[in-house]
């Protein structure tokens, strides 16, 4: 089915471990985004990508790494997880032709112990 | 930089009553504005959007929003709410840099509670 998927949906990891969150979209949207959602902060942009091999930092990029070798995938890696990275992570995709409206995945709930 | 303010953290409305959720934005040029809804444990669903043209825009689920440039507002309305409308509502604006979009800037959300 067309859409945007995220995996895993739930993840518990320990401080210091590397974690990769996956995002896959089937619309061939040029833009993809990663947000984190925390109580009191709403959603904040971590990284975004305008096209394959083009990525840029958002509001809260520290501690995260992204790559985009294929248009449909946009993985987010926490190189050394910290408790402050406990959050719900949302991936989204969008296109310039639709005014940059974004479509969101179901989210990944990450807990760092 | 752009910003979005949703002044109401919580709003309680009786089922069948009308609803208005407030959103104020700060942006230098004509903004692209959005309203999203998030049900508990779910992702965000696009309700409606404003790009240009008619300042009153219609969305899904019976929602509408009015863009008022003079007030820098984009308030969401619904004439009669249903219990299923209970959710978190987010207003957002697209930011731009270097000729391309650089993601959405969200307000902190308004939690809508529906009383029977």
User: With an 8 Å Cβ cutoff, are B100 and A106 in contact?
Assistant: no
Q: How sure is the predictor about B96, in pLDDT bands with cuts at 50, 70 and 90? A: low
Q: What integer best gives the mean pLDDT of chain A?
A: 93
State the pLDDT at residue B24.
Answer: 96
Show the beta-strand stretches assigned E in B10-99.
10-14, 19-21, 24-26, 33-38, 44-50, 56-58, 64-68, 73-78, 87-97
Output the pLDDT for position B91: 96
DSSP state of A96: G
User: What pLDDT is attached to residue B29?
Assistant: 75
Give the closest of B42, B45, B106 to A43, CB-based. Answer: B106
- Residue among A44, A56, A100 whose CB faces B32 most closely: A100
Mean pLDDT of B87-93: 95
| Residue A98 pLDDT level (bands cut at 50, 70, 90) | low
Do residues B45 and B37 touch, judged by C-beta distance below 8 A?
Answer: yes
The helix or strand, by DSSP H or E, that contains position B15, with its residue range, turns out to be: none
Taking residues A54-81, report their average pLDDT.
95
Using 50, 70 and 90 to split pLDDT, how confident is the model at B100?
Answer: low
User: Under an 8 A CB cutoff, do B108 and A41 touch?
Assistant: yes
Domains of chain B, residue spans:
3-115
Q: Which CATH architecture has domain A27-112?
A: Sandwich (2.60)
Instruction: Please identify, in words, the CATH class of the domain defined by B3-115.
Output: mainly beta
**pLDDT tens for each residue of B39-86:** 988 889 999 999 888 899 999 999 999 999 999 999 999 999 999 999
> Which residues, listed in sequence order, are joined to residue B3 by a DSSP beta bridge?
B26
Q: Which of A38, A44, A100, A103 to mutate to test the interface with B (most CBs of B within 10 A)?
A: A100
Round the average pLDDT of chain B to a whole number and report it.
91
Q: Residue A50: CB partners within 8 Å, gap ≥ 6?
A: A30, A31, A56, B100, B101
* Interacting residues of B33 by C-beta distance below 8 A, sequence separation 6+: B23, B25, B49, B50, B65, B67, B74, B91, B92, B93
Decide: helix, strand or coil at residue B22. Answer: coil
Element (H, E) at A53: none
Q: How many CA atoms lie within 13 A of B30 on its CB side?
A: 7
* Binary contact (B102, A58; C-beta < 8 A): yes
């Amino acid at each position: 089915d067309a859409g945007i998927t995220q995996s895993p949906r739930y993840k518990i990891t320990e401080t210091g471990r590397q974690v990769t969150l996956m995002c896959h979209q089937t619309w061939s949207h040029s833009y993809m985004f990663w947000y984190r959602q925390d109580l009191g902060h709403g959603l904040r942009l971590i990284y975004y990508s305008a096209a394959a091999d083009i990525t840029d930092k958002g509001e809260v990029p520290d501690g995260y790494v992204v790559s985009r070798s294929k248009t449909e995938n946009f993985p987010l890696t926490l190189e050394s997880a910290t408790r402050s990275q406990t959050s719900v992570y949302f991936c989204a995709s969008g296109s310039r032709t639709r005014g940059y409206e974004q479509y969101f995945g179901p989210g990944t709930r990450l807990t760092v112990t | 930089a752009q910003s979005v303010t949703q002044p109401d953290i919580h709003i309680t409305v009786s089922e069948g009553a009308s609803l208005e959720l407030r959103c104020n934005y700060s942006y230098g040029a004509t903004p692209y504005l959005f309203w999203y809804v998030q049900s508990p444990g779910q992702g965000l669903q696009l309700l409606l959007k404003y790009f240009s043209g008619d300042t009153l825009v219609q969305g899904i689920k019976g929602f509408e929003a009015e863009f008022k440039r003079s007030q820098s507002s984009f308030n969401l309305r619904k004439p009669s709410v249903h219990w299923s409308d209970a959710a978190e509502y987010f207003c957002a604006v697209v930011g731009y840099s270097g000729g391309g979009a650089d993601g959405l800037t969200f307000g902190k959300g308004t939690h809508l509670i529906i009383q029977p």
